[in-house]
Chains A and B, each alone.
Chain A
Amino acid sequence: KNEVEQSPQNLTAQEGEFITINCSYSVGISALHWLQQHPGGGIVSLFMLSSGKKKHGRLIATINIQEKHSSLHITASHPRDSAVYICAGRPNTGNQFYFGTGTSLTVIP
């Protein structure tokens, strides 16, 4: 069993829809990282958060450390948002991250 689980694995949305990707984890973590992997393979950092909520443009990330759950929301989705979204938890001890397997998002015009 993975320490970090994402849902859904695959998601198809119409342009303009509100999207939610969920990340839950079974270990205690001090911070959670949301990443975006483009179809070409490059990985970009979106958010690093340890509590509450962060917003950047149309992207919003929330985390509840006690409930071991984080969500990534995309408002007014656009085809350029099509990518794989990965969450990774940093445990309370150690220098490693535990990575989810990713959510593949396709936004249709």
Chain B
Amino acid sequence: NAGVTQTPKFRILKIGQSMTLQCTQDMNHNYMYWYRQDPGMGLKLIYYSVGAGITDKGEVPNGYNVSRSTTEDFPLRLELAAPSQTSVYFCATGTATYEQYFGPGTRLTVT
């Protein structure tokens, strides 16, 4: 089992560009999350999903969008990238008892 996979691992964007961060899981977990981790800060929740077709905003959703058409995939879309979105992005899945399993992360730089 691959667990939770994220692509790409690294990306550099210019201000105003858009991109999609991919997240795929083969654990059949209903819960999926997108977090960002800034230096010296705790993980912040961007969006989450409790199942296919259901998504909801987290603590810092501005500038991002998500969709969840299947149990396996939970892509995160950045529109009009800004320097403030430079961060490390983690996708995670969650079990029914809320234990979370994290992907390897995507390091994004916006210049």
**A positions within 8 Å CB-CB of B:** 2, 4, 31, 33, 35, 41-45, 48, 86, 88, 90, 95-102
Tally of contacts, chain A with chain B, CB under 8 A: 54
B105 located at the interface, meaning its Cβ lies under 8 Å from any Cβ of chain A in the complex: yes
From A33, A41, A96, B59 is in contact (CB under 8 Å) with A96
Bound-state Cα–Cα, A2 to B41, Å? 10
From A45, A100, A101, B99 is in contact (CB under 8 Å) with A45
Residues of chain B within 8 A (CB-CB) of A86 are 42-43
From B50, B92, B99, A95 is in contact (CB under 8 Å) with B50
Q: Given A41-B104, A96-B58, is A2 in contact with B98 using a C-beta cutoff of 8 Å?
A: no
CB-nearest residue of chain B to A88: B43
- Is B99 a contact of A48 with CB atoms below 8 Å? yes
- Is A101 a contact of B41 with CB atoms below 8 Å? yes
B45 located at the interface, meaning its Cβ lies under 8 Å from any Cβ of chain A in the complex: yes
B74 located at the interface, meaning its Cβ lies under 8 Å from any Cβ of chain A in the complex: no
4 smallest beta-carbon distances between A and B, as pairs: A99-B42, A43-B102, A48-B99, A99-B43
